Structure 1
């Protein structure tokens, strides 16, 4: 008896007596179809992104302000359509942890382009709001990636990557937002003075020298940092440390949890004041130490009650 589901017959059920190889081939075909569907969606999204960047470039050459703003608004609409595809929950749910991070990074590039359109339109308040939203989105996206991480190999990949996102990308966005807010707070007279200021050539040379020095670094500092703490932490603790980076309230909750459990066991030095001064490594390790201990005691109590 064959059942029809969503208008289709289950081929696996129909061919259940044909052997394992046939069933595996059906699974492989299904995976190939899903991959090609995703591929077509991303081709569409990337094409729209390219079209939007062309519109932005054209807009910067338009002298009429109203016409320029219309062109930038059209570009922003096209970018939003591209972003919707990259943020599709359906596509993300069928992607590996590393793949999810790369998909999110693509969406962040589009988010940055959207923020740029507000800058080019001379809308500092809208730009500041968008940058705040952008920062929160990066934090939430990376938390989703951390939560979906299941294996040590995945953790080895995402830990240095997310650490760098926190130390560089989020820091850069915070600097941009603070600069926008600062400019927005200046009186018109100060803005005119700033327009006449030229960058010091010596400072530019210093930046170039710094970039040339960075080129010779063989291993990123985030990778070195991870390799060091990996020897001192359990995988659950490492994931917790990443979560602390992206959401400080999670660290505060962990500090409260550790201090309460430490008090129950007579560890007086593990109070809130000392925990606040401790590293993410220390707090995460202590959190999972008490977490495992609590789970073990609960399991023993269940076995005794049985």
Structure 2
């Protein structure tokens, strides 16, 4: 991960005039300072991955998270959150309540959602009452999508859910307006009182977005979009503590948010029971892991660094004026953010050729909660002893990828099921030579077709190592 600074700051860093700040443990932070005077001179405007591609997180307003929440950035950050929520919850108008269709999911997948967000930023689409006109926005995707949107709109259950979201968005908007006003109050006591009241409204809005009723009758893809809205509100709550200089409280909530995102993601993944939904979720969860959580971790690093500063440094940071360094980046930033790559989809297409539904789903679970790998590691270690595969000791299994671990698990599971069938004299016998093996998945209790031949080649390659 690399920080993208405004051109003026980048030039200063290259010339040795400015220096990017690092934490006491050597972690790079999203702020730069003058090497001579020590003055803080500017914040990062974005993040790049190791290949130099820009970050486009799903549920994190990047401006808000990388700016350090300085006063002049607050309004911009608030508007970014409002836009994100409007886009994310609007996509539920396509996904609907029951089993989502592949056509509907492809119309509002990760990359289409990013495009919709950019269209709103360019004022090509408006967010009204927390929703955008998807029929207008998706008119170029064919009549089938338009008909599907009309069909979803007639669903009584969806309309009940939509009314809850409209109320929650309205309450959230009021809270944002109150925060904007609070930031202009000079009296510190009155300002903090207004921020406290706005935060209370945010909590009330959050309760609506996380209303259990919204999830009981919603498919996995619809659930993840509602959860993404709730995570955005959680970030705003973190922000209210930070602007009050309650850094310990802000840090604590940010830690909890990252844990909540992992837990929520695992629950959504485990509720996914169709390949069409997995096609939607895999890139989405992958980006949440590779970008959203990284941005939040960066924010966490900044908070921890601020807590470690002596009073004199905190005062210097609070008095810094970054307006001049930020005003020159508008045209450059637009061009920078217009680049949309699809590495998650490319990765998924590769994995899909080498795995099956249950294995792919397990890989997503392990990505978000690595500690859940242990059960699979133990199973593989025990099963491999039956076949004298000495390489599969626990220390080796901890080093393999989620892809290899999951595929190895299903390889041994298939063999185990085959042996049980032989012992029970069942007519259908599963063996390694079969290309398609029909098994019952223990986690979702449904029939899956496993490419046993491909798994067999994976294990042989691993043993040869």
Same fold (TM over 0.5): yes
Deviation (angstroms), 1:152: 0.5
1:9-88 correspondence to structure 2 within 5 Å:
32-88=155-211
Q: Secondary structure at the match of 2:259?
A: helix
- Indicate which of 94, 119, 130 corresponds to 2:253: 130
Distance 2:312 2:211 in 1: 46
Deviation (angstroms), 1:177: 1.1
Partner of 1:268: 390
State whether structure 2 residue 288 is matched by structure 1 residue 168: no
1:243-282 correspondence to structure 2 within 5 Å:
243-282=365-404
Summarize the Cα distance change of 1:300–1:78 in structure 2 as closer, same or farther, 3 Å threshold.
Answer: farther
Q: Once the two structures are superposed, what CA deviation does each residue of 1:237-294 show, in whole Å capped at 9, x if it has no partner?
A: 1101100111110123322222222223211122223222221111111122222333
Partner of 2:364: 242
Q: Secondary structure at the match of 2:242?
A: helix
- Indicate which of 291, 296, 306 corresponds to 2:413: 291
- Indicate which of 202, 205, 212 corresponds to 1:89: 212
Distance 1:53 1:199 in 2: 23
Q: Secondary structure at the match of 1:250?
A: helix
Larger radius of gyration: 1
Distance 2:384 2:329 in 1: 50
Deviation (angstroms), 1:109: 1.1
- Identify the structure with the greater strand proportion: 2
Partner of 2:348: 226
Q: Once the two structures are superposed, what CA deviation does each residue of 1:175-204 show, in whole Å capped at 9, x if it has no partner?
A: 111211121022223334545667799999
Distance 2:322 2:184 in 1: 24
Deviation (angstroms), 1:131: 0.4
Q: Once the two structures are superposed, what CA deviation does each residue of 1:56-98 show, in whole Å capped at 9, x if it has no partner?
A: 1111111111111111111111111111111111221111211
Deviation (angstroms), 1:172: 0.9
Give the TM-score normalised by the residue count of structure 2. Answer: 0.55
- Segments of structure 1 that go 5 or more residues without pairing to the other structure are 1-27
Summarize the Cα distance change of 1:280–1:93 in structure 2 as closer, same or farther, 3 Å threshold.
Answer: same
Q: Secondary structure at the match of 1:104?
A: helix
Q: Secondary structure at the match of 1:62?
A: coil
| Aligned length in residues | 275
Distance 2:375 2:329 in 1: 43
- Bigger mean CA offset, 102-111 vs 264-273: 264-273
Q: Secondary structure at the match of 1:171?
A: helix
Q: Secondary structure at the match of 1:269?
A: coil
- Bigger mean CA offset, 229-238 vs 203-212: 203-212
Partner of 2:264: 141
Deviation (angstroms), 1:295: 3.4
- Indicate which of 219, 222, 225 corresponds to 1:102: 225
Deviation (angstroms), 1:205: 7.8
Q: Once the two structures are superposed, what CA deviation does each residue of 1:96-143 show, in whole Å capped at 9, x if it has no partner?
A: 211111111111111111111111111001001100111111111111
Distance 2:165 2:213 in 1: 13
Partner of 2:440: none
Q: Secondary structure at the match of 1:251?
A: helix
Distance 2:411 2:169 in 1: 46
State whether structure 2 residue 304 is matched by structure 1 residue 181: yes
- Bigger mean CA offset, 173-182 vs 46-55: 173-182
Deviation (angstroms), 1:168: 0.7
Give the TM-score normalised by the residue count of structure 1. Answer: 0.81
Deviation (angstroms), 1:144: 1.1
- Identify the structure with the greater helix proportion: 1
Distance 2:209 2:385 in 1: 47
Q: Secondary structure at the match of 2:218?
A: coil
Partner of 2:457: none
Distance 2:324 2:414 in 1: 58
Root mean square deviation of aligned Cα: 2.7
